[in-house]
Amino acid sequence: MAWSSSASHSARIVVEGQDPYSLSDTPVKVHDDGWQIAACPVNGPAVTARGDTVVCLDDLSSGRRSNIEPLTSSSRFTFVEACVLDPIDVEGEFEGVVHLASPASPRLYLMKPIFTLRTGAEGTRNALDFAAANSARFVLASTSEIYGEPLVHPQREDYWGNVNCIGPRSVYDEAKRYAEALTSAYRSAVGTNAGIVRIFNTFGPRMRPDDGRVISNFVAQALHGGPLTVYGDGSQTRSLCYVDDLARGLVAMLDSDAEGPINLGNPVELTVLQIAALVLELVGSASRIVSCPLPQDDPTRRRPDISRAQGLLGWSPRVPVRTGLARTIEWQANELRQNLAS
């Protein structure tokens, strides 16, 4: 049975990781029922807690401490610098565990292939053990990379995928596949109240400009007046979900008893060239677009079927891509101005 956070019952939640999905435009708000706190993973999505107490674990290997500074003044938020490969050592009882920690951008996980695999294996086991010991609800942040180079479009959760299990991207894909299998095993063998979400491309403020993902690349290049690098001919597609929408989806999953997997993403599908043109328009940049070779096993199509999320969680994205991009560009432009002034 799912636990529910409300004004009458504030839950304690462990969140593994903090960046870049501490991206939410408004990470801390005050409501009548207490604090609403957003905390999220090194490479994984945001989690908001309505009046809940949040303990965020992160090793800062790719995250930035500055992303959680707005939260540190709240007595309901605690940051613990720790590695997911070590057993979780946090005192007290917890009602929720959100496992979001993992290198997520190709640039990062290709730099740390063994660490990425160990995070999916040992890190997930440590998080599951902690959830089981606390009889806590557990949510695994998996990925659309489970589907690989899909032969089914849009991608449904009952599609098993088309993945190169020894290619360069396999260190991330297979880590998440194993994490899903381990989560399912804990649910069936131990009785852990566990759910799995598969996250599609997510973006927003506070992304690292050098993480190598399509939005961070294009925005940084356009703001600097350099050429926008498009891999391949730009006809490959992506479905872009703004971080505030993803945060709502994660909270809905945490509050539910759904097992999943459940896709969380925006079903609006855009080509990479369309995304590049939109960034140039919003930045007001005259930068040109240049073509680079397509990396091995880079997926050519991405679009989630979100019927399960709509039916089981009552969730669908609300923020249009254009609006989310404008907010992201504004934040990154302010960061650039501050860096130049310092």
Report which of 18, 56, 57, 50 is spatially closest to residue 32, judged by C-alpha positions: 50
Question: Which residue in the list 21, 109, 147, 172 is annotated as catalytic?
Answer: 172
Q: Is 39 helix (H, G, I), strand (E, B) or coil?
A: strand
Concerning whether 159 is annotated as a catalytic residue, the answer is no
Whole-number Å distance between alpha carbons of 90 and 154: 41
Whether residue 63 contacts residue 40, with contact meaning beta carbons closer than 8 Å, is answered with no
Sign of CA dihedral 89, 255, 144, 174: positive
- Residue matched to tokens 């350099």: 226
Residues 6+ apart with CB under 8 A from 245: 266, 317, 318, 319
Whole-number Å distance between alpha carbons of 21 and 127: 19
Whether residue 23 contacts residue 40, with contact meaning beta carbons closer than 8 Å, is answered with yes
Cite the active site residues. Answer: 172
